[in-house]
A and B are shown apart, each in its own frame.
Chain A
Amino acid sequence: MSQLSRRTFLAGATAAATTLAAPRVHAQKRGGTIRFVAQADLKILDPVWTTAYITRNHSYLVYDTLFGTDEKLQVRPQMVDKHSVSKDGQKYSFTLRDGLKWHDGQPVVAEDCVESLKRWMKKDRFGRLLAAHGPKLAAADRKTFTLELGERFGPVLEALGKPSSNVPFMMPARLAATSADDQIKEIVGSGPFKFSKDEWQPGNQVVYVRNPDYVPRKEPASGSAGGKRVHLDKVIWRYMPDHATAAAALAAGEVDWWEIPPIDFIPRIEQNPALATFLPDPLGTQGWLRPNHLHPPFNNKKARQALVYMMNQETYLQAAIGVPKFYRTCHSVFACNGPYASKAGAEGLAKQNLERARQLVKESGYDGRPVTVVHVTDIALLNGAALVTRELLTSIGFNVDLKAMDWSTNLAVRAKKDPPDKGGWNVLHTWWMAADVMHPAVHFGVSGAGPGAWFGWPEIPQLEKLITEFVRATDPARRKQLAEEVQKVALDEVAYVPWGEYVLPTAHRKNVSGILKFIAPLFWNVSIA
């Protein structure tokens, strides 16, 4: 019998399903259960305790936010009915909407929001920046609370409406009082769905049921803003570790929506008339090459700059993603479709110059010691990126030691500050959603806080100064200018090197409608025919 590859199997699977399932005309319908294949297994339920995207996505069903972010990246009130800010920009007042209730039946009160924000500010980067400006949070009455700043902080509403991890989700005060270093023990939100704890099977399924007490806003739904009108009775998340199984289940109609099919599955899905693909987050994701600033050779600025001149984003994207319609080169450290995208200081990044890179390696005084590149082999895009890096580093004169490991080992290795010959590293690759690289206050790659910075620990005081100025600025033009300054310094010092942006489509059966554009899968507005 001849060998049947997964691709051939999928071709057959899709073709077979095509003949079985005819396209249907559907209308928005109330009720029903949607079966959804999630990107990962939901293990942690506390959105403050972890930054895992799967926990953030889960929390969007269960919890609500004071502000949401719409499709156009505008921050809009969500739980908040009215808000005001004093003329000097130092005192904010927020009044909650009527009819907000926790899943245990208790009303949402201002004190709950105060405690939730206090806990969030202990963990989140944006929250910590806000906390560093001496905010005093206090409940004025049952529905109103105030935020009084010790120092000027411009993007208060952007912080409260930030769409990605850690999102400031609201919890009852009794739960929000839990230390930020401990997980909350009970899942009680005020969001449009309730978490069904008894049906939760880590590694297999998560179940949510409609919250009948939820009162949506009147505006149309847009991103995480607007009216969260629920048409589904039940949402079942399934975890399927094998992509071929998920593809077959979608084709056979055993599941309705697959959050992130791998790119090489997309052509088969698109050939199936019963299925559709959709780009929920057109802003996409940014790939990173991160040098470790603590150890030679990349504790030397010239050696780091060689990384910029060796960069050819097209090669990385081709190796990591492969299909041109799902990637784009982007020579900005801030998301290319975001408000702070810029080409300032990116001349070296935009045009590969291997000759210049070789010269910089020589000028850096590189002594030929092995450069340890972390090679994550179980995530296709990181595997591709590491292999390209090895070729390029070798071509500009570095001796490369490619260290193969799985993702989990990589997480442990990257946290090590030891020299590469004692278990540490020189170069790693990762990715960040555009929402997490939108501006200097959320972008970990441009932090120059040394030991407090993201792994790689660049110590660039000028960056920290510029970021502080950015969050204190209130004028949008000034903020844009400061973001450009941040980019120039970050690329000159080579805090990291972006290797382009890519988008990941979602796939669903055609009887599913109303999926909103957002960085996380949202289940309000969605219906199933």
Chain B
Amino acid sequence: MFAEILRRLVATIPVMGVVAIAVFALLHVTPGDPAVIIAGDYATTDDIARIRTRLGLDQPFHVQVGLWLSRIVRGDLGTSIFSGLPVSTLIGQRAATTIWLTLFAMLISVGVGVPIGVLAAWRKGSWLDRAVMVFAVSGFSMPTFWLGFILVYVFAITAGWLPVQGYHPIAAGVWPFLSHLILPALTLSVVYMALIARMTRASMLGVLDEDYIRTAFAKGLAPRGVLIRHALKNASLPVVTIIGIGFALLIGGAVVTESVFALPGLGRLTVDAIVRRDYPVIQGVLLVVSGVYVLINLVVDVLYVILDPRIRY
């Protein structure tokens, strides 16, 4: 197992290399030029050309990509063209917000989605099942920004219980930290809660028809024990897959949530950088996020083995 994990980790290196080159190439074929943005409204064509030279943007593509990759290998993600700050510093400033937001959202999604999915499957065809399905369809259909504004209107402006926007690190106190994360995490989690609930229900329905479940009930085991210890464990592989994918999707979905709640996270850092064509920042963030995706996939694969010992790599 350990050897397999090591082998998979080594295999991520060429994957990351391909990702890095693809990201770089994609950005450089996208219309836009950071030099003209820096030069501002009053710049002449000569001013812009001078800035392009200073930034090295007039170099051939292979030279630019070579220089960037050589820095990446040395652990240097580069420097923002605009602020002059190291990309690693910018990511460091934003990572905590996105990590906490994603973890909270996943906690809510799994904490609510799995139990209601199990209950819906257990009470298939009942009002409870229908209610869960209605919630699931609604959850899929609600645009994140719209839900965010509704929650702000209800809980922040009308009730005044929670703040409208912003982020406070945990060092500022537990309640300020939590209060600024509740609404964004709830907003972000609804879609995934719905997804996980549906997937859990579908997977559980397949398992609940198995003979061993019928046997367990016939032996007189309590429904809770049957559902959790026997059915859920065996139904959990697709759910774990969805949770793994969900982590990746949550990081992407955080872009909208971070904008609605003015949270200084990686999503907004990326969008701001794209708007300005701040290439080193876009490349750095995408590289780091790609690395996280690869690691999440690895963790999911390891979990498969733990949950189902029959699986071998």
Contacts and interface: CB of A to CB of B under 8 A. Distances in A.
A51 B83 contact: no
Contact of A412 (B31, B50, B146): B31
Interface stretch (B15-23, B34-42, B218-226): B34-42
Contacts of B40: 50-52, 165
Contacts of A203: 94, 264, 268-269, 272
Contact of B276 (A43, A165, A238, A452): A43
A287 B164 CA distance: 35
A252 B90 contact: no
Interface stretch (A90-98, A213-221, A240-248, A340-348): A240-248
Interface in A15-53: 16-17, 20, 41, 43-45, 49-52
A413 B37 CA distance: 11
A415 interface: yes
Interface string A326-363: 00000000000000000000000000000000000000
A246 to B, nearest CB: 8
B152 A248 contact: yes
B9 interface: no
Residue of B33, B39, B80, B262 ringed by the most chain A CB atoms within 10 A: B262
Nearest to B51: A181
How large, as a class, is the contact surface on chain A?
35 or more
A415 B46 CA distance: 10
Given A203-B269, A248-B157, A413-B31, A430 B165 contact: no
Interface string A185-223: 100000000000000011111000000000000000000
Nearest to B97: A204
Nearest to B149: A9
A16 B157 contact: yes
Given A415-B33, A415-B48, A406 B160 contact: no
A409 B32 contact: yes
Given A13-B157, A408-B32, A417-B45, A202 B164 contact: no
A172 B37 CA distance: 27
Contact of B164 (A249, A409, A414): A249
A44 B39 CA distance: 11
A254 interface: yes
B39 A50 contact: yes
A208 to B, nearest CB: 16
B75 interface: no
Contact of B41 (A12, A408, A430): A430
Interface string B143-181: 001100110110011101001111000000000000000
B277 interface: yes
Interface in B82-111: 82-85, 90, 93-94
A309 to B, nearest CB: 27
A397 interface: no
A237 B44 CA distance: 31
Contacts of A366: none
A416 to B, nearest CB: 9
A118 B283 CA distance: 37
B48 A183 contact: no
Contacts of A181: 50-51, 54
A454 interface: yes
Given A254-B163, A408-B275, A13 B83 contact: no
A17 B164 CA distance: 12
Contacts of B94: 201, 203
A251 interface: yes
Nearest to B145: A242
A414 B44 CA distance: 11
A405 B156 CA distance: 36
Contacts of B41: 51, 165, 430, 432, 444, 454
A14 B40 CA distance: 36
Contacts of B268: 203-204, 241
B259 A202 contact: no
A451 B48 CA distance: 13
A252 B163 CA distance: 8
B25 interface: no
Contacts of A417: 45
A411 interface: yes
A456 B268 CA distance: 34
Given A4-B149, A202-B83, A252-B156, A240 B262 contact: yes
A251 B93 CA distance: 28
A412 B32 contact: yes
A451 B45 contact: yes
A72 interface: no
A125 interface: yes
B294 to A, nearest CB: 26
A412 B45 CA distance: 11
Interface in A115-147: 124-125
Contact of A202 (B33, B90, B153, B271): B90
Residue of B85, B90, B157 ringed by the most chain A CB atoms within 10 A: B157
A412 B36 contact: yes
Interface string B264-296: 100011011001111000000000000000000
A405 B272 CA distance: 17
Contacts of B46: 451-452
Nearest to B48: A415
A88 interface: no
A317 B45 CA distance: 30
A9 B40 CA distance: 35
B32 A254 contact: no
B26 to A, nearest CB: 15
A52 B152 CA distance: 33
Contacts of A245: 152, 164-165, 259-262
A44 B38 contact: yes
Residue of B82, B149, B160 ringed by the most chain A CB atoms within 10 A: B149
Contacts of A52: 40
B164 A248 contact: yes
A6 interface: yes
A432 B160 CA distance: 40
Contact of A16 (B31, B158, B262, B277): B158
Interface in A441-456: 444, 451-454
B38 A49 contact: yes
Nearest to A423: B31
28 contacts: A4-B150, A43-B80, A43-B83, A51-B41, A166-B42, A181-B51, A202-B82, A202-B85, A204-B93, A204-B262, A205-B264, A238-B262, A241-B271, A245-B262, A248-B164, A249-B165, A249-B166, A254-B163, A254-B166, A408-B277, A409-B31, A411-B33, A412-B31, A413-B31, A414-B36, A415-B36, A432-B41, A444-B42
Given A20-B160, A248-B157, A252-B163, 14 more contacts: A45-B83, A45-B84, A49-B38, A124-B42, A166-B42, A201-B94, A239-B262, A241-B271, A248-B153, A254-B163, A405-B31, A408-B37, A408-B276, A432-B41
